[in-house]
Amino acid sequence: MLDKIGIAKRIAQEIRDGYYINLGIGIPTLVANYIPDNLNIVLQSENGLLGIGPFPKEQDVDADLINAGKQTISMLNGSSLFSSAESFAMIRGGHVDLTILGAMEVSENGDIANWKIPGKMVKGMGGAMDLVASADNIIVAMQHKSRSGASKLLKECTLPITGINCVNKIVTDMAVLDVLSEGGFKLLERAPGVSVQEIKDSTEGTLIVEGEIPEMKID
Amino acid sequence: MINKVVKNATEAVQDIPNNATLMLGGFGLCGIPENCISALVELGVKGLTCISNNAGVDDFGIGLMLKTRQVKKMISSYVGENAEFERQLLSGELEVDLIPQGSLAERVRAGGAGIPAFFTPAGYGTEVAEGKETREFEGKMYLLESWLRADFSLVKAWKGDTAGNLIYKGTARNFNPMMATAGKITVAEVEELVPAGELDPNQIHTPGIYVQRIFQGEGYEKRIEQRTVTP
């Protein structure tokens, strides 16, 4: 089984040179720490920045420079600043190459639920609905099962959905899976020490297993 | 040049009536019109509809206007981080309309640009699409979203001049430029107000035509929600 850092490290392997990337809050934010140094990529913050850098030194903290999680950040050389309308224009316009976000549930046809739990205070969807409806390349970081052991990879989402037919790939604590356009979770890799049978038992939606399933390689 | 300068926030917001619809710039607590919010609390105007990406925190930003029960309805994309907000919402004192962030930004932009509605993919197939017209374009489904406009827009900029031209700093720009265009009366508060001619016209983010009132703000607290540093 992978911990959160393991999931972040495995997702980082999906990043290619030249990508513009939007990282969601939580595990996706951690991915930034494991992107190989030899890749030139640009991180987008949907409040209005391309070129997110590391957290600033204490003396460089600027209240006018935050990311979408409202954390203080720095800017890298070559950064640009713009309005939130411009930011979502570049998202909807398909200019962002990769979107990585968390989920509470994903269905076998690529629907995602990650904004609302009935009976709990609804905080809002923020930019999640715009991102999932617009991006061509979406990777979801999530736990395979709930704390009570129920699968979160389902035939159909039970929670209110954020977007439909949009997830391409999922990295969980147990596995890497593609969501096929015709429906179904195709198993690509197993987490270290996790068997195909355990993944089958933990996946409620249709799981497609073809041939030998290799174990993930994580440094 | 037309002089847009008013003395302070009190003068800038004095004629905002009960039940007005306001837009307030800012993302979280970044780039919010701090002086105007304080003046509204002092003015005690009630029944406000506030269009703003977030609703502040308990003791800062729009949270201050929630505490004094001045807000009837919030139109926002994300309203966490605020216990008083949650209490008023659950008790039914406060109405909330939650909108995807990009749709909110574009609806405000459309309001200022004279575009009454537009199609967006955000929210298609979700509860956001309920009751809305949908249409297919080149094999993909979209839903119709309408413009947003306000009686007053309250925006915050870094620098401004007496003609109402504005320059923002960092990610404090966020919703401010669109909201500046979508208010019948737009009030801009700035950290540094200079005479017309001192700002480089090449660098202006919001042209003065959109701004009816501008004043030099004071005592900016610029509170930080998540202070994250590299040791």
| Residue B152 contacts A, CB cutoff 8 Å | no
Indicate the pTM of the whole model.
0.97
Looking at chain A, which residue has its C-alpha nearest residue B126? A161
- Across the interface, do A62 and B90 touch by the CB < 8 Å criterion? no
User: Is residue B44 pLDDT above 90, yes or no?
Assistant: yes
Question: Does the pLDDT at position B81 exceed 80?
Answer: no
DSSP H or E run through A34:
none
- Residues B108, B113, B119, B122: is their CA dihedral positive or negative? negative
pLDDT digits (tens, 9 = 90+) for B203-219: 999 999 999 999 999 99
Measured distance CA(B93)–CA(B69) in Å, rounded: 9
| Averaged pLDDT of chain A | 96
Q: How far is B46 from chain A (nearest CA, A)?
A: 24
Task: Give dist(CA A162, CA B109) in Å, integer.
Answer: 23
Closest residue on chain A to B105 (Cα)? A85
Q: Which residues of B touch A69 (CB under 8 A)?
A: 226
What are the angstrom distances between the C-alpha of B208 and each of B111, B151, B152, B159?
17, 18, 16, 12
Of all helices (H) and strands (E), which one includes residue B12?
Answer: helix B9-13
Find the CB nearest B229 among A45, A57, A81.
Answer: A57
B29/A70 CB distance under 8 A = yes
What are chain A's domains?
A: 4-208 (3.40.1080.10)
Give me the percent of chain B exceeding a pLDDT of 90: 93
User: Catalytic site residue A46?
Assistant: yes
| d(C-alpha B49, C-alpha B183), whole Å | 13
Binary contact (A125, B98; C-beta < 8 A): yes
Burial (0-12, 13-18, 19+ Cβ within 10 Å), B104? buried
Residue B195 has pLDDT above 90, yes or no: yes
A-B contacts (CB, under 8 Å): 165
User: Among the CATH numbers 3.40.50.850, 3.40.1080.10, 3.40.50.720, 3.40.50.300, which is that of B9-116+148-216?
Assistant: 3.40.1080.10
Q: Find out whether A114 and A170 touch, Cβ atoms under 8 Å.
A: no
Residues in chain B: 231
The secondary structure element, H or E, covering residue A84 is: helix A84-92
Any CB–CB contact under 8 A between B134 and chain A?
A: no
> What ipTM does the predicted assembly reach?
0.96
What is the tens place of the pLDDT at every residue in B178-193?
A: 999 999 999 999 999 9
DSSP symbol at B45 = -
